[in-house]
Structure formats: structure tokens, C-alpha cells
Chain A
């Protein structure tokens, strides 16, 4: 035990004197977490809370323009959009220029015939309906069936999924306006008087309410935010980034001859490897504490959502320990097989970015191509993230994330075996 303790002390001393290594292990993930969470928080807020700013160019040439005014009002009331600029503009080019000038991503152009088309269509539909009711042959022409299209201009950087949701929202708004006019026309055709507002709002206004509910395991979680996503993700990334420090530390010891001397001493070389694992698992725990602390205490002061810790703290500690062990095992593997520090640093850094990418840390796993969904299961970072997300986003308990912990454990043990085999091959054990 004294030998192991002395080795841990030695490793900690070397580590604390490596200022660059410490900076890489602590400062870099802290900066990454703050910057990326801030950037993503804007997107989350735009999707979850904020309204989309749009330019609205109403070119309706109808004298009353009642349908287009109704449309504009419905767009404003829909809750998703805020009209930043209203025109009128001379032509489409002027709308485009305005989008770039004001940095607005979306513009809606209402065609000149909008009100006329909507009303014509409403009357046409009403006529057809009445003929159906009275049993007359429906020989009405297609007059009033075609509507001039509403134009949606968007900035090319706008993500497809976000554009689709805007299209969907506008489609609903258009449907509401058209339905109103059809109901008005029908009512007038049947009752020969205008529809009272109360009846109109009863027919058109009352829709089945949608209640969004985030399905968390503990039932307490609200909408996921950038903090809940980013803190676990970048904690895992930081843990695996110890490969730079640990991998090159092993190469340095191999090349300096320290390992050679250790082999001539009566203590088993395994003690050196156990010490490295304990030391660096402690470092990964400290990284997690620092980054979680950042989320809990600093984020609310810089305008970011505070991190909410999972209810099952035991599971959180266990997952953090396992992630740290896996990261340490990977780093030892790299250190054992690399012949130079350049190899360890280069391969270590690139492999972590690749494992993070295929593991779903940079791109959400559901957005990956089919083939990558199988490959990502080979990335330890994927299982670390899944386990953390199970706790942080789904509010799960240890039992709920067992199926993420088991593969993580298997990968860790595989790294251990591969590292041990490498040590044997290089006659270090």
C-alpha cells in the first residue's frame, strides 16, 4: 500500500508541475462549456421561447384587403412570429436587400390578389356545399379554386428543420384565415345575414388545445435547455481530453528510462499503472465538479440557465467515476502504444474529436445517417453521454441507465486488456 501511495504522490506531483497539461485539462473545457452553451442557448431560446422576426410585405391590391389584414393579425397572434419590418417594398429585390440589411432570416410576401382569391374561393366552396345539400348536380366550374401563392423568402443558413416548422406555422395561419372566410360565406348563403362574431369565434377559434409535456422519468423536468445538454457533453469531452496529458506522460516515462529502472525494482509494474488510473480518475472527478459547479453557480450570473442536478446523486457519482475510468483507460492505451509524445498528442487529440463526433457529442445521434447509428455504439463517449442524458435530461435513476453503463464498462475493460497486452508486448510487465 505504501508503494502505491508513494506512486500516486509522485504522479500528482508531476501532474501539478505540468502547467500546460493542467490548462488543457481544466481551463480549456471551462471555456468550451461557457462559449458553446452561450451560443447554443440562443438557438434553444429561439426555438423554445423567442419569436421569429420576419419581414412582412403585404402587396394585397384589393380595396378592402380584409383577408390579408386578417392574415397579418393571425400571424401576429400565432405566437411564433414578430413582424420586424412591414414594407411596402417596390419589388422582391428590395425585400431581399432589407433581409440582409436588417439581418432578418425570414420574409413573407402576401400576393396582390390574396384577399380577392380567398373570398372567391370561400364563395365557390359555399356554392358547392349548398348545391350538395340541396341535391343539385354540382356542375360549378373551378373558378375560385386557385389561390396565388404566398412567398416565403429565407436566408440560406436557415436550417431545414427550422424552415419546415415556419412553413408549418404559416400553413396553419393560412388555413385559419381561409376557413374563416368559408364559414362566413356559408353562413351568409344559408342565413342571408352576416355571421355574428360570437358564432364565428365558436366555429373557427376554438381548437383542440395542445399541452406540451416533456416526458421525464421523474416527472419534474421542464424543457431541456442548452445547459442541461452541454454541461454533461463537455464534461465527457474534457475527461477524455486527459489523453493529451496522460498519454504523453507515459511516453515520456518510457523514453526517459524511468520505466526501465522500475522494471529492475522489486515492485510489480502494475502498481505504476494502477497509480496512474487512480490519479487521473481523481482528475476527471475534479473536472466534473468544476464544470458542474460552473453550471450551477456561474451560469445564472451570466444569463444562462442554471444546471439542475439529477435526483439520483449516487448514480451521477457512479457514472462520473465510470466515465473517468474509461477515459483513463483509453489514455493509457494511447500512451502504451505511442512511441513519441507527438504520436500520443496527435493521435489522442484527433481520436477524441472523432469519437466525440461519431458518439453524438457534436451532432445529435438522431440526426446521424443510418450507418453511423451503428458505428456510434463503438464510441465510449456515446455511452457516457447516454448515461449522463438519462440522468440530466430524462431524470432517470441508476436502474434506468444500466443499459448505458454496461457497454461503457465492457469498452473500459477492453481498453484495459489492450493496454496490458501492449505492456506485455513491450516487455514493460
Chain B
């Protein structure tokens, strides 16, 4: 079975800047709940952009479920979903209208869109607001809509960039619970966040990136045991230091 993500020798720099990623190697197995962490400016967002094909690369290789992303066929896009940190939907449209539109763009037909919309509205408790304009929702409801759109087409790999930022405890629990359910059904989760307690609950394997390099990559249990830490926050500070970052 192909790895969800297979990165080898990947280097990347923005125009006329120092390299953000330098000869990076990383493998994320299918079915994992993988957490990617690092201080601000470490290269997390850039790496997410490269893994989702949003950024082009010249050096190295990035494969998603065995498909090379450089010069990729757009059909590969149906294999993954992205939950961006920013709300990426149309605030003028209702929940249902947003799901219908993004469902069509994900390649679903009318019947599939209808079924999946009903399912997601129910699972993410959005039924009462299915016809309301999303722009007027609370932060928690917007986060759920953001997530629902990303999973409309049942992607095999789901990238999550700060999926619970700014939400209350109840919504966070509900989202994490739903993500675990998805994973049980075979969806690989690739998660990045500054919410380290949440990561301890969700992730089975963790990597830390700093100055463009992966500095650790192991299961959460092994890492805490090896570094004699009782939580990710202590491990994070031990490995990346206490100085301010960009």
C-alpha cells in the first residue's frame, strides 16, 4: 500500500529568499493521524502548501498516495481535502448552498451531493442553519462548515491547518471526535496546530519542523518516553527553545 505522503530531498525557497525547506524527507503512512508542529516561521504552512500542490517545487519529490504532485493531473485533487486556517467559503451563501457548490467542484453528481449534504449537516449539527447565510454564523459554526466542505468528497487524505482555532471547548471536542471517526473509516489525517493539548488527544504520530528541517518524527508515546516529558508542550520547548520566533 502506498504511503499517504512520501517526501524525499525536498527543498523550497520563495523568490530571492533563504531556503524555507532544505533537503527534507518525510513519510506519512496511510491511515495515520499525523501531527506536524513547529514554531512560527519554521516552514509548516509552506510544507502543507507543497503537500497539497498549492506551491510548486523544483528540487525533490512529493508523492501523494503514490502520485507525484509536480505537474500533477487535477484528478489527484479528488484524493485529498484541505481545511485551511482561514474560512474558505462564500459567506453570502447558506450552508447547503456552499456544500452544493463545493461538492460539484469536487466532482460529485446531484444525488451524491444531496446525500452527503444531509449526512454532514446532521453529523456536524448544522441542520438548523442549513438555509442561513454562513457569514452570519458564530466562529464555531463557521469552523464546522469549513470542515464539512473539505470532507464532502470523502477524501483519502485530509489536511487540517488549525481546524479548531477560536472555537469553544464543546465545538473543539465535537470536531476532534468527528476527525477520529473519519480516521477510523480510513482517512489519513495530517494536522498542524499550536493547540498542543488537542494534538496529544488526536495525533498518533508527531513530527517537529524547525528551520526547514524535520528535527523529530516518531509516535507520540515513544517521543514522550525518550525525552522524559509528560506532554507535547514540554517536548516542544525542549527541542525548539524558549526564544521568540518570527
State A18–B53 Cα separation when bound (angstroms). 33
Q: Which of A71-79, A169-177, A261-269 contacts B (4 or more CB under 8 A)?
A: A261-269
Q: Would A267 and B87 count as touching, CB distance under 8 A?
A: no
- Which of chain A's residues has its CB closest to B150's CB? A261
Q: Which of A6-14, A86-94, A199-207, A400-408 contacts B (4 or more CB under 8 A)?
A: A6-14
Q: How far is the CB of B136 from chain A (nearest CB, A)?
A: 12
Q: Would A256 and B54 count as touching, CB distance under 8 A?
A: no
The listed residue with most A CB atoms (<10 A of its CB), out of B52, B101, B149, is: B101
Q: Would A6 and B82 count as touching, CB distance under 8 A?
A: no
Chain A hits for B107, CB < 8 A: 3, 265-267
State A13–B91 Cα separation when bound (angstroms). 11
Q: Would A265 and B90 count as touching, CB distance under 8 A?
A: no
State A2–B75 Cα separation when bound (angstroms). 17
Chain B hits for A262, CB < 8 A: 105
Would you give 25 A-B contacts (Cβ < 8 Å), ordered by A?
A6-B104, A6-B105, A7-B104, A9-B101, A10-B90, A17-B133, A253-B90, A256-B88, A256-B89, A257-B84, A258-B89, A258-B90, A260-B88, A261-B102, A261-B150, A264-B80, A265-B105, A266-B74, A266-B77, A266-B78, A266-B106, A266-B107, A268-B74, A271-B105, A427-B56
Q: How far is the CB of B24 from chain A (nearest CB, A)?
A: 21
- Which of chain B's residues has its CB closest to A3's CB? B104
- Which of chain B's residues has its CB closest to A259's CB? B88
State A335–B77 Cα separation when bound (angstroms). 26
Q: How far is the CB of B177 from chain A (nearest CB, A)?
A: 24
Interface residues of A in 240-285 (CB under 8 A from B): 253, 256-258, 260-268, 271
Q: Would B77 and A265 count as touching, CB distance under 8 A?
A: yes
- Which of chain B's residues has its CB closest to A267's CB? B105
- Which of chain A's residues has its CB closest to B98's CB? A10
Q: How far is the CB of A213 from chain B (nearest CB, A)?
A: 56
Chain B hits for A267, CB < 8 A: 74, 104-107
- Which of chain A's residues has its CB closest to B107's CB? A266
- Which of chain B's residues has its CB closest to A263's CB? B54
- Per-residue contact bits, chain B 67-96, to A (CB 8 Å; 1 contact, 0 not): 000000011111011101011111111000
The listed residue with most B CB atoms (<10 A of its CB), out of A3, A257, A265, is: A265
Q: Does B110 contact A (CB under 8 A)?
A: yes
Please tell me the number of chain B residues within 8 Å of chain A, measured between CB atoms. Answer: 34
State A256–B145 Cα separation when bound (angstroms). 14
Q: How far is the CB of A19 from chain B (nearest CB, A)?
A: 11
Q: Would B92 and A13 count as touching, CB distance under 8 A?
A: yes
Q: Would B54 and A265 count as touching, CB distance under 8 A?
A: no
- Which of chain B's residues has its CB closest to A262's CB? B105
- Residue of B80, B86, B97, B100 near A256 (CB, 8 A) is B86
Q: Would A13 and B97 count as touching, CB distance under 8 A?
A: yes
Grouping DSSP codes into helix (H, G, I), strand (E, B) and loop, the A interface class, with mixed when no group exceeds half, is helix
Chain A hits for B109, CB < 8 A: 2
Given contacts A2-B109, A266-B77, A266-B78, contact A10 B87 (CB under 8 A): no
Given contacts A6-B101, A266-B74, contact A18 B92 (CB under 8 A): yes
- Which of chain A's residues has its CB closest to B54's CB? A263
Chain A hits for B105, CB < 8 A: 3, 6-7, 262, 265-267, 271
Given contacts A265-B106, A266-B107, A267-B74, contact A14 B90 (CB under 8 A): yes
- Tell me how many residue pairs across A and B have CB atoms closer than 8 Å: 85
State A416–B182 Cα separation when bound (angstroms). 43
Chain A hits for B75, CB < 8 A: 266
- Which of chain A's residues has its CB closest to B75's CB? A266
Chain A hits for B82, CB < 8 A: 261, 264
Chain A hits for B90, CB < 8 A: 10, 14, 253, 256, 258
Interface residues of B in 119-155 (CB under 8 A from A): 133, 149-150
State A257–B150 Cα separation when bound (angstroms). 13
Q: Beyond A253-B90, A266-B75: 7 further Cβ-contacts under 8 Å? A: A2-B104, A3-B104, A9-B101, A10-B93, A256-B89, A257-B87, A266-B107
- Which of chain A's residues has its CB closest to B106's CB? A265
Top 8 closest A-B pairs, CB basis? A6-B104, A257-B88, A261-B88, A257-B86, A266-B77, A266-B78, A265-B105, A10-B101
- Which of chain A's residues has its CB closest to B84's CB? A257
- Residue of A9, A10, A258 near B88 (CB, 8 A) is A258
Q: Would B87 and A256 count as touching, CB distance under 8 A?
A: yes
Q: How far is the CB of A301 from chain B (nearest CB, A)?
A: 37
Q: Would B101 and A7 count as touching, CB distance under 8 A?
A: yes
- Which of chain A's residues has its CB closest to B86's CB? A257
Q: Would A264 and B87 count as touching, CB distance under 8 A?
A: no
Chain B hits for A266, CB < 8 A: 74-78, 105-107
- Residue of B54, B89, B100, B101 near A264 (CB, 8 A) is B54
Interface residues of A in 267-325 (CB under 8 A from B): 267-268, 271
Chain B hits for A257, CB < 8 A: 84, 86-88
State A10–B106 Cα separation when bound (angstroms). 15
The listed residue with most A CB atoms (<10 A of its CB), out of B104, B106, B110, is: B104
Q: Would B102 and A265 count as touching, CB distance under 8 A?
A: yes
- Which of chain A's residues has its CB closest to B74's CB? A266
Chain B hits for A268, CB < 8 A: 74
Chain B hits for A264, CB < 8 A: 52-54, 77, 80-82
